[in-house]
Amino acid sequence: MIRYIARRAAQMFVLFVIFLTLTFLLLTALPGDTVKQRFATNPNIPPEAAELAIERLGLDKPLWEQYTSYMWNFFRGDFGFSFLQYPRPVSDIILERLPRTLVLFLTVLVSYYILGFVAGKFIAWRRGRRGEHAITIGSVFLYTVFYPWFALMLIWFFAFYADVVPINKFLDPQEWVDAPFSSNHVFMVIFGVMLVGGIVALTLWILSRRIRDPALRTRTVWVGYGALAVVMVWFWYLSDFGSARRLYAGDILHHMVLPVVTITLISFAGIMLLTRSSMLETMREDFILTARAKGLAEKTVRDRHAARTALLPVTTSLVIAVATVIDGGIITETVYSWPGMGELLFTSVVGQDLNLAIAAFSFVGVMAMVGHLVVDILYMFLDPRIRVTGE
Amino acid sequence: MTDLLEARPTTDVTGKGSLWRIRANLVWAGATNNWNLFRTNRVGIVGLAIIVFFALMALIHPVLMSGMRWYSGAALFLLIWPVVAWVIWPLLGRLRHERKVTFPLTVGITAALLVAIGATFGGVWDAGTYHPVVGNEPNPPLLHRTVVNEVTDPATEMSVREALLYSNPDGSPLLLGDIAEIREQPTGPYGRHWLGTDPLGRDILSQLMKGAQGAFLLGMVAALVTVLFATTVGAVAAYMGGWVDSFFMRLADLLLMLPALAIFIVMSSVFSFELWHLAILIGVLSGFGGVAIVLKSQALAVKVKPFIEAARVSGGSTIRVIAVHVIPNVMPLSFLYMMFTVTAAIQTEATLSFLGLLNIDMSWGLMIELARNQGYFLTGMRFWWLVFPAGACVSLLAAAFFLVGRAMDEVINPRLRKR
Q: What is the pLDDT of residues B64-107, one digit of tens each?
A: 886 556 666 677 777 777 777 777 666 665 555 655 666 777 77
Q: State the complex-level ipTM.
A: 0.85
CA of A199, closest CA in chain B: separation in Å? 25
Residue B204's pLDDT is what?
93
Residue A39's pLDDT is what?
64
Quick one: which of A26, A339, A307 has its CA closest to A169?
Answer: A339
Best to test chain B binding among A20, A133, A144, A333 (most B CBs inside 10 Å): A144
**Residue ranges in chain B whose pLDDT is less than 50:** 1-10, 419
Look at A140 and B269 and tell me if their CB atoms are within 8 Å. Answer: no
Q: Which residues contact B60 (CB under 8 A, 6 or more apart)?
A: B76, B117, B121, B209
Query: B378 — contact with chain A (CB < 8 Å)?
Result: yes
Look at A15 and B351 and tell me if their CB atoms are within 8 Å. Answer: no
Residue B241's pLDDT is what?
83
Between CA A196 and CA A202, with CA A198 as vertex, the angle to 5 degrees is: 120
For residue A344, which residues of chain B lie inside 8 Å, CB to CB? none
Q: Which of A152, A327, A346 sits opposite B260 (nearest CB)?
A: A327
Look at A327 and B259 and tell me if their CB atoms are within 8 Å. Answer: yes
Look at B368 and A19 and tell me if their CB atoms are within 8 Å. Answer: no
CA of A258, closest CA in chain B: separation in Å? 16
Residue A391's pLDDT is what?
44
Look at B257 and A323 and tell me if their CB atoms are within 8 Å. Answer: yes
Contacts 24+ apart (CB under 8 A), B248-254: B248/B288, B248/B292, B248/B296, B249/B293, B249/B296, B250/A15, B251/B288, B252/B288, B252/B289, B252/B290, B252/B292, B252/B293, B253/A15, B254/A15, B254/A18, B254/A19
Distance CA B301, CA B238 (A): 9
Query: A118 — contact with chain B (CB < 8 Å)?
Result: no
Quick one: which of B310, B340, B336, B346 has its CA closest to B325?
Answer: B310
**Residue ranges in chain A whose pLDDT is less than 50:** 390-391
Give the predicted TM-score (pTM) of the model.
Answer: 0.86
Q: Which of B268, B357, B395 sits opposite A146 (nearest CB)?
A: B395
First to last CA, chain A: 7
For residue A26, which residues of chain B lie inside 8 Å, CB to CB? 266-267, 270
Q: Give the distance, in angstroms, between the CA of residue A127 and the centroid of all CA atoms in the same chain.
A: 32
Calculate the CA dihedral of residues A110, B286, B37, A275 and round it to 10 degrees. -10
Burial (Cβ within 10 Å: 0-12, 13-18, ≥19) of residue A203: exposed
Quick one: which of B409, B238, B281, B288 has its CA closest to B340?
Answer: B409
Residue B9's pLDDT is what?
46
The H-assigned helical ranges of A126-283 are: 132-144, 147-154, 173-176, 183-208, 214-233, 240-283
Look at A320 and B398 and tell me if their CB atoms are within 8 Å. Answer: no
The b/e string for B52-90 (b: 16+ C-beta within 10 A; e otherwise) is eebbbbbbbbbbbbbebeeebbebbbeebbeebbeeeee
Burial (Cβ within 10 Å: 0-12, 13-18, ≥19) of residue B345: buried
Query: A350 — contact with chain B (CB < 8 Å)?
Result: yes
Residue B242's pLDDT is what?
86
Query: B51 — contact with chain A (CB < 8 Å)?
Result: no
Q: Which of A30, A149, A369 sits opposite B257 (nearest CB)?
A: A369
Query: A281 — contact with chain B (CB < 8 Å)?
Result: yes
